């Protein structure tokens, strides 16, 4: 297949602004290349791809970022800023589409979903978030009515947010596990990783770490610096050790040194990349029982689940998680979170869609 993969209209690949979509894209592209497909990636200016994606062609366009849907009110109208990156990306798609068998959209945005019936090359969407906007819910429901095979999701918990006309196609996610080293001997510290934004609930992880008397190493882009400052002020000085936004190499080294990862989503987390990345380093995860992480964590094997938004329950889950075998976490990630398995599932989905289209 000749596949055009369209990235998020928020930031460039490698900046961290796109959150989990950045890793999803590189895993998907690397995995499909290795299965013999031809990949072109269309993304914001300044984007870089990891070495494993070197055989993909990278096209970049400049433009103004989309405001993130998850930071708008649920009822917000669709916004297209002047000089928008989103419109530049999709102008290029429409111009070049005849060169491809399939277009695969990874951006969580109204415009590409709305375009689904109108492209001459089939347009498929891997939806990267749960429900955060009525306008997005509506357009996803419309695509599901007319083009159900064109939609896929990461987890059942995420897909359950939407009104779908058939059982969802679920793909999970995949990681380049060679890049995550197993660390059998952690330091006396806990970890937290992700975009530092209210939907990620860092304040609860900080409170739990303070109660456990362990420092919390925080890895990620301070998408909302005022929020980060409020969290820091809410716990005793020295509880949080800020590491900033790290490359995957630096991230996995820091993760490996943690006794457990705390994961505290305040929203219906679509997947939870950092959960599997931590496990790949041998780090058990204590998470709220909410969204994707509740499907990834096997209590007593690779982590522990806590009642959502309950810090006391999170503290108890962290204690259970720290007692687990680190090797079991790595093993689970190898079984369920590899690029190879993810790419097989993506390929199966895209080939079914193309076959159905040619019938």
Give every CB contact of residue 283 below 8 A, 6+ residues apart in sequence.
Answer: 183, 186, 191, 255, 256, 258, 259, 260, 261, 326, 329
Asked whether the beta carbons of 159 and 184 are under 8 A apart, the reply is no
The residue from 6, 12, 17, 20 that contacts ligand UDP (CB under 6 A) is 20
Nearest approach, Cβ of residue 337 and ligand UDP (Å): 11
Nearest approach, Cβ of residue 40 and ligand UDP (Å): 22
The interface region with ligand UDP, picked from 29-37, 59-67, 233-241, 268-276 by CB under 6 A, is 268-276
Q: Give the integer Cα–Cα distance in Å for 256 and 122.
A: 41
Asked whether the beta carbons of 214 and 258 are under 8 A apart, the reply is no
Nearer to ligand UDP, 114 or 245 (CB): 245
Nearest approach, Cβ of residue 272 and ligand UDP (Å): 5
Nearest approach, Cβ of residue 97 and ligand UDP (Å): 27
50 binds ligand UDP (CB under 6 A): no
Nearer to ligand UDP, 117 or 244 (CB): 244
The residue from 271, 288, 342, 349 that contacts ligand UDP (CB under 6 A) is 271
Nearest approach, Cβ of residue 129 and ligand UDP (Å): 7
220 binds ligand UDP (CB under 6 A): yes
Asked whether the beta carbons of 269 and 277 are under 8 A apart, the reply is no
Asked whether the beta carbons of 32 and 56 are under 8 A apart, the reply is no
- Among candidates 290, 253, 285, 284, which has minimal Cα distance to 271? 290
11 binds ligand UDP (CB under 6 A): no
Binding marks (x or -) toward ligand UDP, 242..261, rule CB under 6 A?
A: ---xx-x--x----------
Asked whether the beta carbons of 18 and 119 are under 8 A apart, the reply is no
């Amino acid at each position: 297949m000749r596949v055009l993969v369209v990235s998020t209209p928020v930031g460039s690949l490698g900046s961290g602004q796109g959150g989990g979509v950045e890793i999803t894209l590189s895993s998907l592209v690397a995995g499909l290349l290795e299965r013999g497909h031809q990949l072109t990636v269309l993304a914001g200016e300044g984007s870089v791809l990891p070495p494993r994606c070197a055989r993909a062609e990278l096209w970049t366009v400049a433009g103004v970022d989309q405001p993130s849907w998850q930071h708008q009110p649920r009822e917000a109208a669709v916004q297209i800023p002047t000089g928008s990156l989103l419109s530049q990306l999709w102008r290029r798609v429409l111009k070049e589409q005849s060169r491809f068998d399939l277009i695969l959209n990874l951006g969580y945005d109204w415009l590409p979903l709305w375009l689904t019936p109108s492209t001459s090359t089939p347009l498929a969407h891997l939806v990267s978030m749960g429900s955060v906007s009525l306008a997005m819910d509506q357009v996803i429901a419309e695509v599901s009515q007319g083009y159900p095979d064109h939609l896929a999701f990461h987890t059942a918990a995420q897909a359950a947010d939407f009104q779908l006309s058939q059982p969802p196609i679920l793909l999970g996610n995949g990681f380049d596990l060679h890049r995550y080293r197993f660390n059998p001997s952690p330091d006396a510290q806990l970890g937290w990783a992700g975009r530092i934004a209210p939907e990620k609930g860092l304040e609860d992880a900080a409170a739990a770490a303070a109660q456990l008397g362990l420092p919390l190493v925080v890895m990620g882009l301070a998408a909302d610096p005022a929020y980060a400052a409020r969290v820091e002020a809410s716990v005793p000085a020295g509880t949080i050790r800020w590491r900033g936004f790290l490359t995957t190499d630096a991230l996995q080294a820091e993760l490996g040194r943690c006794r457990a990862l705390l994961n505290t989503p305040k929203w219906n987390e679509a997947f939870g990349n950092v959960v599997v990345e931590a496990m790949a380093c041998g780090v058990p995860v204590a998470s709220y029982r909410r969204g994707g992480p509740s499907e990834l964590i096997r209590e007593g094997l690779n982590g522990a689940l806590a009642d959502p938004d309950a810090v006391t329950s999170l503290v108890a889950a962290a204690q259970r998680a720290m007692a687990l075998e680190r090797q079991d976490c790595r093993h689970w990630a190898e079984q369920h979170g590899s690029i190879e398995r993810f790419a097989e599932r993506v390929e199966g989905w895209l080939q079914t869609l193309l076959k159905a289209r040619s019938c």
